[in-house]
């Protein structure tokens, strides 16, 4: 076991993760980082409700929204480019040949630190979805997920505006929206590992 996985890792070690998937994954890591930054900014603004503290909250909200727009733009560009080039057909054929258990075994050497190995579970789901529905369908699903992350941020922003207006602290919405955002890298940063396995399978 590990034959395909070792081969894919060797190519990845030489080339790294390819763009635009590298940029896409990094941006979804930023979604989680900005969520943590926003949570801290809101906590400070609750303790010291100054104009400066609230301006910082507003700044981070705008950065978070801009980052999600960037993520959506990257994905839309790839969908169009791969439509034009016929790349989806190539990727579907490779997904059909990918030995998921083999590649997961390679990843498991370093990614099973916790009894519930989230990265491995995410990779397994991603490749399984691609095999069953097609690679393009996977990224259509991902586009919908990014749209829901945008809605999540809008909900959080509305809750914060209401909190500022009424003075009633809304901790639950902040907790819920932060959790939804910090989960993003476990799906969409893992995406770049998922797609790289297909891109490098025949190298």
**Closest alpha carbon to 122 in 140, 136, 137, 142:** 142
With tokens 């400070």, the residue in question is 44
What distances in angstroms separate CA 57 from CA 4, 29, 103, 173, one per listed residue?
Answer: 46, 19, 42, 15
How many CB atoms lie under 10 A from the CB of residue 94? 17
Could you say which residues of the chain have pLDDT below 50? none
What pLDDT is attached to residue 78? Answer: 95
Instruction: Give the dihedral sign, CA 125/132/144/197.
Output: positive
Question: What pLDDT is stored for residue 1 in this prediction?
Answer: 56
- Rounded CA-CA distance 189/185 in Å is 5
pLDDT value for 203: 81
d(CA 39, CA 58): 12
Query: What DSSP string describes 48-67?
Result: S--HHHHHHHHHHHHHHHHH
Structural domain count of the chain = 1
pLDDT for 2: 58
Q: How many angstroms separate the first and last alpha carbons of the chain?
A: 19
Residue 175 CA to residue 159 CA, distance in Å, equals: 11
The per-residue pLDDT for 186 is 85
3-state class percentages of the chain: helix first, strand second, coil last, to nearest 5 = 85, 0, 15
CA distance 31 to 108: 26
Neighbours of 113 (CB within 10 A): 7
**Whole domain around residue 172: which residue ranges?**
3-199
**DSSP secondary structure code for residue 140 in this structure:** H
Burial of 80: CB neighbours in 10 Å, binned 0-12, 13-18, 19+:
exposed
């Amino acid at each position: 076991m590990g034959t395909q996985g070792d081969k894919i890792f060797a190519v990845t070690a030489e080339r790294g993760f390819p763009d635009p998937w590298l940029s896409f994954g990094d941006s979804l890591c930023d979604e989680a980082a900005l969520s943590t930054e926003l949570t801290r900014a809101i906590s400070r603004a609750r303790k010291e409700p100054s104009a400066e503290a609230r301006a910082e909250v507003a700044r981070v909200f705008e950065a978070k929204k801009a980052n999600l727009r960037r993520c959506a733009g990257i994905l839309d560009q790839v969908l169009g480019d791969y439509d034009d080039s016929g790349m989806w057909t190539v990727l579907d054929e490779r997904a059909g040949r990918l030995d998921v258990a083999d590649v997961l075994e390679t990843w498991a050497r370093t990614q099973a630190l916790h009894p519930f190995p989230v990265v491995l579970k995410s990779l397994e789901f991603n490749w399984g979805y691609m095999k069953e529905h097609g690679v393009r369908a996977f990224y259509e699903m991902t586009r919908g997920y990014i749209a829901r992350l945008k809605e999540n941020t809008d909900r959080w922003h509305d809750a914060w505006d209401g909190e500022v207006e009424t003075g009633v602290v809304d901790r639950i919405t902040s907790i819920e929206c932060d959790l939804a955002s910090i989960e993003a890298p476990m799906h969409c940063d893992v995406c770049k590992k998922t797609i790289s396995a297909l891109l490098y399978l025949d190298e």
